[in-house]
Structures are given as structure tokens and as C-alpha cells.
Amino acid sequence: MGIKILWDQQAPPGLEVPVSRLISMLLCREVEIIEYPLLADGYDRNRDQYDAAKILDRLQNTFIRRYGIADPLLLVTSRDLFVQNCDFVFGLARKAAGAAVVSTARLDNTYYNRAANDDDLIDRTAKEGAHEIGHLLGLDHCTDRECIMFRPATLDELDRKKKQFCTACRQALGVRPE
Ligand SMILES: [Zn+2]
Ligand SMILES: [Zn+2]
């Protein structure tokens, strides 16, 4: 089973390949990048953010259904995401639909008035993308602060995570230990 990555037209251009390579390496699965002009639902004018659940609704109800996609699907977008009762989320996964979304909005140094750095953005997008796909493959959150499946509340917590799953999560994924 492979993984499909849908790169939003508004997502940072040129990072598709390095991000996909890292995700493929982390999960030991093939990754296919898909170009598709997906309409983003769920814009909230008051918050100037998108409702991640509504974006997943559209992925589930149009794209996945229309093309009969069976592989885990990750949408990468630059739109800032929220869910009910949360100021923001880095991403959201819906296991029953086999679909997840990750936002680069708050993974970008420039959001925090720091100097732009593509390597940082690639690493963070790959970590959070692999995290959401991990949920699609049945993993829950992990208490190991260095594991991909740890749930970071801040960018610093995200940066403290390594680009790898812990031993327990690797076993749960059926990926052989390093
Ligand atoms: Zn999570
Ligand atoms: Zn873990």
C-alpha cells in the first residue's frame, strides 16, 4: 500500500519532492504526488482560517470517491487550519476516510518573524505529514517527545521531535527497527 500526497496549489512550490521523499523514508512506503485543483471549503472570515474538518469532508466526498482512492491520502496546504474548540491545528486525520490534511502556515519561520528556511519547512512538513499518515495507519499519539507521533503544542515541541518513529510506533506500523 502506497501513500498519495495532494499538494495544494497554494502550498509552498518546489518542496513537494523533498517532503515526499522524507515521508516515504519515514514510513517505508512509496509516495505518489498528485496535482489536483482541490477547492478548499470551510473558510471562516472572522478567524481568517479554514475548518480542517470541512476540508476533509470535501476530500472524502469528492476526490476520494470520484477517483476510488484506497491508499492513505494527505493534503498539504498553506491555509491556516482550525478545529472546533482549538485556536489552530498543524493537521488533522480522519482514519475512517483514509484522509488527512497538514498545513504549512505555522510551520514556516516567517509566521514567527524568523528568517525563512526551506530546510526547516521541509523537515516540519514531513514530520507532521508523517504524523497524520501515522494516524491513518492506526497509530495514536505517543508520549515519547522525540517520536513523530508525539502531539506538539508549539513549534519548539515540534522541532524537538526527531525525524523518526520510536521503537514501539515502528513496531505498530510493521516497519522493521533500524
Ligand atoms: Zn496527532
Ligand atoms: Zn512513538
28 Cα–ligand 2 center, Å: 16
Ligand at minimal distance from the CA of 129 is 1
Contact status, residue 173 vs residue 27, Cβ threshold 8 Å: yes
Cell of 145: 517527545
**pLDDT tens digits for range 35-82:** 888 888 899 999 999 999 999 999 999 888 888 889 999 999 999 999
pLDDT tens-place string over residues 104-140: 999 999 999 999 999 999 999 999 999 999 999 999 9
Per-domain residue ranges of the chain: 3-168
Catalytic residues: 132
Q: Which residues contact 3 (CB under 8 A, 6 or more apart)?
A: 23, 24, 27, 29, 30, 31, 32, 71, 72, 73, 74, 133
Distance 42 CA to ligand 1 centre (A): 20
Q: Which ligand is nearest to the CA of 131?
A: 1
pLDDT in tens, 149-177: 999 999 999 999 999 999 999 999 987 65
pTM given for the model: 0.95
DSSP string of 106-129? Answer: GGSGGGGT----HHHHHHHHHHHH
Classify domain 3-168 at the CATH topology level: Collagenase (Catalytic Domain) (3.40.390)
- Neighbouring residues of the ion ligand 1, judged by CB less than 5 Å: 151
